[in-house]
Structure 1
């Protein structure tokens, strides 16, 4: 698929079919996340694949925003691997790097016919506690994935509405 068409076509899927996602497709999505650019190529992402009944029940107990997806990718930043700015005290690129990884995986999923929705509607402290994550692992976002259900459609009527470039771009 041509890249521009892919990003124009993609939408956040909030209704998933019960068709399981094939392991080879999950592996391909994860491989694309491995190749995503990160600051200094430190690759601070730590990705947990939630697909067991127990893991899915846990995450569903913390947020309704996983929409009964058959697989949820829990993307975290390993704080021991993030790039830390020598210029701005306290700034690191963990959240940014993981967001880039998530975007790459989201687009690869769509290319494979698999829907997804980027989710941040959870309390990271609760996720950390419930999944017994190590101290250095910081939950950043969730990416529920699965085949779109029959009711799947863009969530808002303004899905295809964009501000003009002249409003969002300024040349200096």
Structure 2
């Protein structure tokens, strides 16, 4: 698939089968993440793969939804606040942007491999801070990853028309 086809096909999957994700697929996806660009090539990120039952049960405390529990694994996307590039004109840190770019690389690579993902940002931050205590790293998103269930809800993709989002000067 080309990038347009991947963008059309990718959606927020909210129901997965119990089939495990192949290690070769996970390796491919994480290599795509590793190659993502970042401001000044700082790569201010860490990605924690949550696969064990014990670790998954702990993670569910931060986001306890029935559909979320169906994923065979999760990738916790974290930013290093001490490493990210900061724009000198206004002191804006670009770590959020960098991690978002890498995370979408993850989602598109998963789509290419026939797997589903969903950005989860509405988690309990206090639980995530307890599970991943750090003075450097902050959790940005949890990405469930797995084979999409046949009966997974899949809404039609609705996007604004090009004329509303593009301006030429």
- Aligning the two structures, in what range does the TM-score lie when normalised by the shorter sequence? over 0.9
- In the alignment, structure 2 segments of 5+ residues that lack a partner are none
* Pairing of 1:12-161 with structure 2 (within 5 A): 12-65=12-65, 66-89=68-91, 91-131=92-132, 133-154=133-154, 156=155, 159-161=156-158
The Cα offsets for residues 77-133 of structure 1, whole Å up to 9 and x where unpaired, read as 0112100121113x20111110000000100001001100011011323202123x3
1:163 to 153, 160, 165: 160
In the TM superposition, structure 1's runs of 4+ consecutive aligned residues that sit over 3 Å from their partners are none
Cα distance in 2, alignment partners of residues 82 and 53 from structure 1: 32
Provide the TM-score with structure 2 as the length reference: 0.93
The Cα offsets for residues 9-33 of structure 1, whole Å up to 9 and x where unpaired, read as 1211100000000112111111100
Cα distance in 2, alignment partners of residues 64 and 9 from structure 1: 27
Q: CA deviation at 1:2?
A: 2.0
Aligned length: 167
Provide the TM-score with structure 1 as the length reference: 0.92
Cα distance in 2, alignment partners of residues 141 and 18 from structure 1: 22
- In the alignment, structure 1 segments of 5+ residues that lack a partner are none
Q: Residue 13 of structure 1 contacts residue 152 of structure 1 at CA under 8 Å; is this kept in 2?
A: yes
Q: Residue 62 of structure 2 contacts residue 125 of structure 2 at CA under 8 Å; is this kept in 1?
A: no
